Homo-oligomer: A and B are copies of this chain.
Amino acid sequence: MSIEIPNSSFPRVVIVGGGFGGIQLAKSLRDKEVQVLMLDKHNYHTFQPLLYQVATGGLEPDSIAFPLRKIFKHQKNIFFRVANVESVNTTAQKLVTNIGDIDYDYLVIATGSTTNFFGNDMIENHSMPMKSIPEALNLRSLILQSFEEALLKDSINEQEALMNFVIVGGGPTGVETAGALAELKMHVLPNDYPDLDLRRMQINIVESSDRVLNSMSVQASEMSDKFLKEMGVMIRTNDAVVSYDGRNAVLRSGKVLETTNLIWTAGVKASTFPGLEKAEFVRGGRIKVDEYNKVTGYENIYAIGDVAAMITEQYPNGHPGVAQVALQQAKNLSKNIINLINNRKLTPFKYFDMGSMATVGRNKAVVDLPFIRFQGFFAWFVWMFLHLLFLVGFRNKMVVLINWIWNYFSYDRGTRLIIRPYRKNKQIMQDEQDLIIDARH
C-alpha cells in the first residue's frame, strides 16, 4: 500500500490527530504556503465534552461527531487519511503507519489523551471508560442492560448490584455523568421500569481528593457537591477504588461497593507513539514541549493539546487538558510555522484561561470565569450556549439543540436504545481497529 499525496513545492506539515487542536491548526493553515496532511484513526472528530450525554441516552452519537473530510472540503492544500500511526523515524523524517510511510517536513502531534488505569489490569478489564464514541455507546448499552437484567432477578442483593453505579473520578466527566444518571433515576427509569423499586438505584462518586471538581474554584466544588447531593448522588471524597472484579469495588478506605457498573473517569494519559527517542516525557506520559510547543530534542516536531506538557511557572505540570489549551496552542503554532518557514521571529505561547464549567443537571451548573463565578440556572444556560457554540457543524448544533429542548420539556431521554448489546464477560482486548462487528440474525 502506498499513500499518494501530490508533490508540492511547499513544506509538508503532517498533523496527527483530528481533535480540537488538530482541526484548529489545519484550519489556520488553509491557503498558507504549506501542504497539510492530517491523519486520524477515525474519519470523524469527536466532541468529547458531550460523550456523557451519549452514554446516558440524551444525544445520538452522530450529533457529537463530525466527518473530518467535511471540515476540509474546498481546501486545496489540506489532505486527510484514516491511518494508525505506528511509529516515527525522526532521522528519515517519516511516519510509519498502517497505510504506508509518510514523509513530513514538520510533524505536529495532536493525539490527545486516553483513559489511564494506572496499570491496574483488573480494573481496566471490568470497568467502563468513556473517551470515545464506541465507549460511550457501550456504556449506554450497559446501563440499559443492567435494568433489563435487574427485572429478571429474584434476589434484592443482585438487583441492587445491577442498579448501583460507581463513578470513579469527580472531575467534570464524573460529575456530569453522575448528574445525568440521577436525572434518569428521577424522570425516566421509573416510567420505563414500573416493576423495579428505583429508590434502590444508587449513584456513587469516588474522588481521591477532598472535593469534586477540584480543578475549579472551591465555590464551584461546594455548589456541585450540594447539587449532586440534592439529586441523590453519594459522594465519597478522599477515597479511591483499588480493585474491582466486575462485582466488588474495593475502596482504599476498606469499604466494598457491590456494583456491576463501574465507570472509570479517574485519569488520562497521553496518546503517543514510539520513535521520539530524544523527547522528554512527564507525568501522564505527556511530551515535554518548549514555549513554542516544540518537542525537546527536535527542530521540526511539535506537540499541542492534551498530549503536550508545556511546563511554566503557573502550570508546573503543564496546562490543563481542556479544549481551550489545544485551540489556543494550535492558533499560536500555525503562526509560528509560517514564521519559521519565512525565518521570522517566533511568538511564545501564552495561555488565556477562559475559565471552566460543568453541568450537574437541569438548571444546575457551575461556571468559573476569570473575573466572575456563578452557579445555578444562568450557569446552566451559559454551559449549554458555549457547548453549542464549540460543537463542530451546523447540523450537529441544530440536532443537539432540538434534543436538549425536547429533553428539557419532556423530562425524557429519547435515545435509550441498546443498538449493539455490550457483553462484559466476553471482551476482546484488542485495539479498536480490529473490532469485529457483524450483526446478522
Contacts and interface: CB of A to CB of B under 8 A. Distances in A.
Interface in A27-73: 41-44, 60-63, 65, 67, 69-70, 73
Interface string A153-186: 1100000000000000000000000000000000
Contact of A191 (B73, B100, B398, B412): B73
A105 B82 CA distance: 56
Interface of A: 1-4, 6, 41-44, 60-63, 65, 67, 69-70, 73-74, 79, 81-82, 99-100, 114-115, 124, 129, 132-135, 137-138, 141, 144, 148, 151-154, 191-193, 195, 393-396, 398-399, 402-403, 406, 410, 412, 414-423, 426-429, 431-441
A297 B31 CA distance: 75
A98 to B, nearest CB: 10
B428 A439 contact: no
11 contacts: A2-B152, A4-B195, A42-B417, A62-B62, A62-B415, A74-B191, A99-B152, A135-B440, A395-B406, A399-B403, A421-B432
A151 B420 contact: no
Residue among A114, A419, A427 having the largest count of chain B Cβ atoms under 10 Å: A419
Q: How many copies does the complex hold?
A: 2
A78 to B, nearest CB: 10
Contact of A402 (B399, B410, B419): B399
The 7 closest A-B pairs by CB, nearest first: A134-B439, A60-B62, A395-B414, A60-B60, A62-B415, A73-B191, A69-B192
B437 A132 contact: no
Nearest to A427: B438
A437 B423 contact: yes
A268 B151 CA distance: 34
A396 B414 contact: yes
Contacts of A132: 439, 441
A152 B62 contact: no
Nearest to A416: B67
A381 to B, nearest CB: 21
Contact of A114 (B67, B419, B422, B441): B441
A15 to B, nearest CB: 17
Contacts of A417: 42-44, 61-62, 65, 67
